[in-house]
Chains A and B, each alone.
Chain A
Amino acid sequence: MTDVIVAEGLRKEFTVRVRAGRLRREKRRVAAVDGVDLRVARGEMLGYIGPNGAGKSTTLKMLTGVLMPSAGEVRVCGLRPVAERTRLALRIGVVFGQRSQLWWDLPLRDSFALLRHVYRVPADAHAARLRRCRSLLDLDAFLDVPVRQLSLGQRMRGELTAALLHGPEVLFLDEPTIGLDVVSRQAVRGFLAELGRAGDTTLVLTTHDLADIERLCARLVVVDHGRVVHDGSIAELHRRYGSRRLLVADLETAPARPPALPGAPLERVEADGHRLVYALESAGVADVVAALAGLGALRDVSIVEPDIEDVVARLYRREDQGCSITSTAKVPGASAS
């Protein structure tokens, strides 16, 4: 079995009470996660994004055994997360960006030592992993500082280490870069990229910072209102939503008529015909450059990447128009105050 995470028709409903009139309150069933299908292969790095309340954290909680799905099937490392919670816990690592796995009043070093006992890790394997994290995440400067005195960036580096000391097969990260300064953010990203390159840890990451995704994840899953609205590479997302990479060519001599290139429609002409901007659809960069070189000397060629923020913002807005609360059912006889 190569898929380390398999979810089919995953669904989670919550009961919310809404005021209906002066004294009456109505119970409503609201689906936070509404039929998510997901397969993640071993070693894959998956970015899981969506607007606030889209169901990202709820999904992560169902995958880690914290919450029981209302419906649907889940297997992580071949285990049922809730029923086989403790066995699964030994094989996954979890970082909740706004919650801590560390002991507040103890030096960071002590938390790591404790987790060795909690996860029953052999001393040599534990020491080797800790050594690696210490050098990659620069922990040495604050290893003896109580966790409550650490900066957020230092603490997050500690959390990452804590989640990895038992050598998990899957690492779940819920908003790992939230609130971090630029330097810490880059340290965390660099570390996760390194982890991904090693290839034996599967990574599932929720974030609001799309730079995390661009830097780390080949695959992007966008959820909104509890449903998957995109699952594929970032390039596919751009293709689907009409944002394209642009090739900008500066020419020595302006051609009489800009050439039409197959798979690369001309976007616009600037600088009195000296600058041609083509959209890269199906044509490769090399083909376009070769065709343009035939026109005469090229002064400069550059590629402009589309802004993923724009694409995703558009994607969220589009979904917003479609539906509101996905499933609303009145529970009979539920009126109390």
Chain B
Amino acid sequence: MAERPRPGGALAAYRALLGAQARSQAAYRASFVVDVLGNVGSTVFDVLTVLVIFGVTRELGGFTLRETMVIVGLATAAFATADLLVGNIERLPRYVRTGLFDAVLVRPLGTLPQLLLMDLPLRKVSRAVFGLAVLVVALGSAGIDWTPARVALVVVAPLAGVVFFGSVFVATATVSFWWVDSGELANAVTYGGRDFTAYPVTVYGGWFRALFAYGLGFAFVSYHPALALLGRADPLGLPAAVGWAAPAVALVAAALAAAAWRTGVRHYRSTGS
């Protein structure tokens, strides 16, 4: 006879899965250390790109280097943290192929949290730390006039960014339930979104800006919160309050991603592909 599960036990279960993943990766200690260090690379490169651009110009889309770095910091910290926590969901086709997805379905826990915790790429922790460092340095040198509201925003905005990018990762990975080779398309949206958020949206034009900034919502990750923190009016004319909309946008994105995931799982179970 199965015993009734104790309430709150699911949390302990997820904690145990996380611990197992940490120990699994520690089993390859030497390569883990190399991975952690090597992983900072690409993120450093992204920041260097911005610095190089300012080597040839004094303003970018109407923003100075110090102002742009706040945008870069918000984007990098949010993306790197989301990539650490949720990024590996892009390996969904592999989970399906190896049968891990079936194994996860016969356990008494949610499918998404199980997959995320069982394949958490801890080596990416260095990127998240680096992203956070960039944000802290940028905030320190931008000469921000700190009010209580801005202090609250500086805590909430990166978290909202993490939720937003996490939702993008989940939503795009879900496509592979229908179309196994959707990886390139998913990358275009996730990594395209990361690059998009690292610059003021004023540098982009036309339909491209409309699509990424407001159609997909990437403007709310770094651009608008940065304007609110810097106390700058939006050159594109949106009201200042938009900067505080980041959490709401993130929650909407999370709800959509969750719905997409549930639909994807239902599709998987009805086709068994």
Contacts and interface: CB of A to CB of B under 8 A. Distances in A.
B266 A68 contact: yes
Contacts of B5: 90, 119-120
Interface in A95-130: 96, 98-101, 103-106, 110, 113-114, 117-122, 125
A110 B270 CA distance: 34
Interface in B84-141: 98-100, 102-103, 105-110
B98 A110 contact: no
Given A15-B271, A106-B27, A66 B105 contact: yes
A246 B22 CA distance: 62
Nearest to A166: B2
Nearest to A111: B20
Contact of A92 (B99, B106, B269): B106
B108 A90 contact: yes
B13 interface: yes
B143 interface: no
Nearest to B273: A14
B1 interface: yes
A129 to B, nearest CB: 11
A169 B3 CA distance: 11
Nearest to B12: A117
A125 B269 contact: no
Contacts of B105: 64-66, 85
Contacts of A117: 9, 12-13, 15-17
Contacts of A103: 20, 24
A168 B106 CA distance: 12
B2 A167 contact: yes
A66 B269 contact: yes
Chain B binding surface, main DSSP class: helix
Interface in A194-220: 200
A67 B268 CA distance: 8
Contacts of A86: 108-110
Interface string B55-99: 000000000000000000000000000000000000000000011
A18 to B, nearest CB: 16
B103 A100 contact: yes
A125 B99 contact: no
B13 A120 contact: yes
B272 interface: yes
Contact of B98 (A14, A66, A68, A99): A99
Contact of A118 (B23, B27, B108): B108
Given A90-B5, A96-B102, A114 B20 contact: yes
Given A94-B106, A104-B24, A146-B27, A12 B272 contact: yes
B129 to A, nearest CB: 24
Interface of B: 1-3, 5-6, 9-10, 12-13, 15-17, 20, 23-25, 27-28, 98-100, 102-103, 105-110, 266, 269-272
22 contacts: A12-B272, A14-B272, A58-B272, A61-B102, A61-B272, A64-B106, A66-B106, A67-B272, A82-B269, A86-B110, A90-B2, A91-B2, A94-B106, A101-B103, A114-B20, A117-B15, A118-B17, A118-B108, A118-B109, A120-B6, A120-B108, A167-B3
Interface of A: 12, 14-15, 58, 61, 64-68, 70, 82, 85-87, 89-92, 94, 96, 98-101, 103-106, 110, 113-114, 117-122, 125, 146, 166-169, 200
